[in-house]
Every structure is written in structure tokens, then in C-alpha cells.
């Protein structure tokens, strides 16, 4: 296996393992820690902090240590792994009752529809149309301002977006592209908005940093995570809390770091998610299938 295939396989195994931990009464943050421990045991690294986003929160959520899963929750688990910077990215939605099963099936149907049509030469708009049609047929809305994305070495969102509706984009997929297809379905408005800090950061640009504490922390971030997203709680394993708080504040102020915001459904609708990573070719290969 090459690095992209290994990353996809490890991401799929980590997602499967994490889904097995998700039950009512379990602590969400402890689940994420266990997933990341499994990734480390495979001599791989997270491509981004593992995330559990619940109910109206669509994405970018690392719950604090007080969040316990409830029986009525719609739980989205998003896990990524990288091997030498090449990424496998996948996600799944779990529910504990039959009440929201159709919402889960809608996102899964959108993903299957995309996988059925994706190939070299297809336009992004047609991929988005397939996703939206499948979700609409099940009585839900596709979240329009969330999308899949091109994956490149040490770059999770590499510029190209894979829409979840027909946005008319005539850009064509090319052989050799590695993409994440990521439908979101909702019973709400079909749009998300940024609300709360996530504790997930990414290096935006490297600059000279005058403060010694902040400079030391930035050097560690660049060595360990390069341009991939990382979690504040990861830094707390290396640095004192006061230094982490101060360093993050300084690095954000200077435009070195960007903090992702939690993404909430605009009308407080429930959201489901499904995701696979695909290597475009003849044929296309879903790297995050468990085989």
C-alpha cells in the first residue's frame, strides 16, 4: 500500500473503532482520546483532531470533558489520519433510536449517489446534483455551505470544493486527485453558521514571533503538525496551561494561527453526515473502505 492507501485504511479502522465506543452514557471526549490513541498505535498521526458533533452542530466540535452522549442524540464522528502528509478522511452518523434513522440514511444516500457518478472528467456541479437529489428524495435538505474537498500532502482543504448541491461548477475531476466527498443532510434550513470556538487550530502563515513562549510553541506546532489542524488539548500535553493560553492568543493576534469555529445549523435543525475519501482514477478507489 502507498501512503494514501495506508492513511485511508487506518482512518477507516479508527472510525469503525470509534463508532463501537459511541453509546448513551459515554463521555464524548474520552471516546476521541481513545480513537487518537489507536491511531498512534498504528504509527500514524491524526490528519486533524477527531471530532464528535452532536445534533444541530454539523462539524468542528471537540466536546469538553463534561459532554455525555444522550439516547436522543444524533452523533457525527469525523476521523482523519495521515501517513507522511497524505490523508484519509471519513465520517459517519450514529443514532440510538429509530426516530432519526431516516436523517442518517439521507446523508448516506447522498454519499452513495456521489460515489456512483464520480469519475475522471465529471464536473463538480454534477457530483453535487447527485448528492442533493438523493437527499431531497428522502425528504431532507442538503447543507449548501458545507462541502467536500481536495486533499493534498499536509493540506486537508486544498482549494477545490466538492459541493453538496448543483452549484453549476464546471470544473472537472482529474485522474490522480484525492478528494473527500462529504454530504450533510438536515431537517433545518440547509445552511450552517459559525458560532463557538472549537479549540481546533491551523497555521495560516509563518511569521517571525517576538515572544519567546509563543515562538517555542510555534516551532513545536510546525514540527508536529505542519499545516494540518491540531487541538489545543494536544498542546496541553507538552506545555503548561498558562503558556498555551498566552501563546495561542499571541499567535492568533499576529495572524499566524486560525481557530476553526463550531458549525451550527442556522435554523437549529438536526444534521447528519457521511464521508469517504476517493482516489480519482480508472476505476476510482475509495481509500476509506474497510476491506
- Hey, which residues does 278 pair with through a beta bridge? 179, 286
Q: Which of 36, 105, 275, 276 is catalytic?
A: 275
CA 58: distance to chain centroid?
10
Neighbours of 12 (CB within 10 A): 22
- CA-closest candidate to residue 268, choices 190, 197, 182: 190
Distance CA 118, CA 112 (A): 10
- 78 has catalytic annotation: yes
- 157 has catalytic annotation: yes
Q: Which of 105, 132, 182, 265 is catalytic?
A: 182
Distance CA 157, CA 27 (A): 29
Q: Which of 13, 36, 73, 78 is catalytic?
A: 78
Distance CA 8, CA 50 (A): 15
- CA-closest candidate to residue 200, choices 248, 268, 264, 271: 248
Q: Which of 157, 167, 216, 245 is catalytic?
A: 157
- 149 has catalytic annotation: yes
- 132 has catalytic annotation: no
Q: Which of 60, 82, 100, 149 is catalytic?
A: 149
- What's 211's DSSP letter? S
- 182 has catalytic annotation: yes
- State the catalytic residues: 78, 89, 149, 157, 182, 275
Amino acid at each position: 500500500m502507498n501512503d494514501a492507501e495506508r492513511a485511508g485504511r487506518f482512518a477507516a479502522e479508527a472510525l469503525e473503532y470509534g463508532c463501537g465506543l459511541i453509546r448513551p452514557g459515554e463521555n464524548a471526549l474520552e471516546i476521541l482520546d481513545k480513537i487518537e490513541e489507536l491511531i498512534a498505535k498504528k504509527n500514524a498521526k491524526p490528519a486533524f483532531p477527531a471530532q464528535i458533533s452532536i445534533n444541530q452542530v454539523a462539524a468542528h466540535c471537540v466536546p469538553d470533558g463534561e459532554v455525555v452522549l444522550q439516547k436522543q442524540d444524533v452523533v457525527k464522528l469525523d476521523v482523519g489520519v495521515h501517513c507522511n502528509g497524505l490523508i484519509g478522511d471519513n465520517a459517519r452518523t450514529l443514532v440510538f433510536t429509530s426516530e432519526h434513522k431516516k436523517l442518517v440514511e439521507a446523508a448516506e444516500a447522498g454519499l452513495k449517489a456521489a460515489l456512483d457518478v464520480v469519475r475522471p472528467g465529471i464536473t463538480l456541479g454534477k457530483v453535487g446534483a447527485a448528492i442533493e437529489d438523493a437527499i431531497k428524495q428522502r425528504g431532507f435538505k442538503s447543507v449548501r455551505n458545507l462541502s467536500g474537498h481536495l486533499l493534498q500532502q499536509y493540506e486537508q482543504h486544498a482549494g477545490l470544493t466538492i459541493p453538496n448541491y448543483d452549484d453549476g461548477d464546471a470544473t472537472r475531476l482529474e485522474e490522480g486527485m484525492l478528494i473527500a466527498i462529504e454530504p450533510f443532510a438536515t431537517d433545518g434550513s440547509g445552511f450552517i453558521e459559525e458560532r463557538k470556538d472549537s479549540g481546533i487550530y491551523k497555521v495560516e502563515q509563518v511569521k517571525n514571533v517576538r515572544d519567546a513562549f509563543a515562538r517555542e510553541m510555534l516551532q513545536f506546532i510546525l514540527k508536529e503538525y505542519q499545516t494540518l489542524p491540531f487541538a489545543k488539548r494536544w498542546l496541553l500535553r507538552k506545555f503548561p496551561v498558562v503558556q498555551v493560553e498566552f501563546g495561542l492568543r499571541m499567535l492568533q493576534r499576529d495572524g499566524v494561527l486560525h481557530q476553526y469555529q463550531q458549525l451550527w445549523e442556522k435554523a437549529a435543525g438536526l444534521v447528519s453526515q457521511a464521508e469517504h475519501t476517493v482516489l480519482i482514477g480508472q476505476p476510482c478507489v475509495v481509500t476509506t473502505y474497510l476491506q
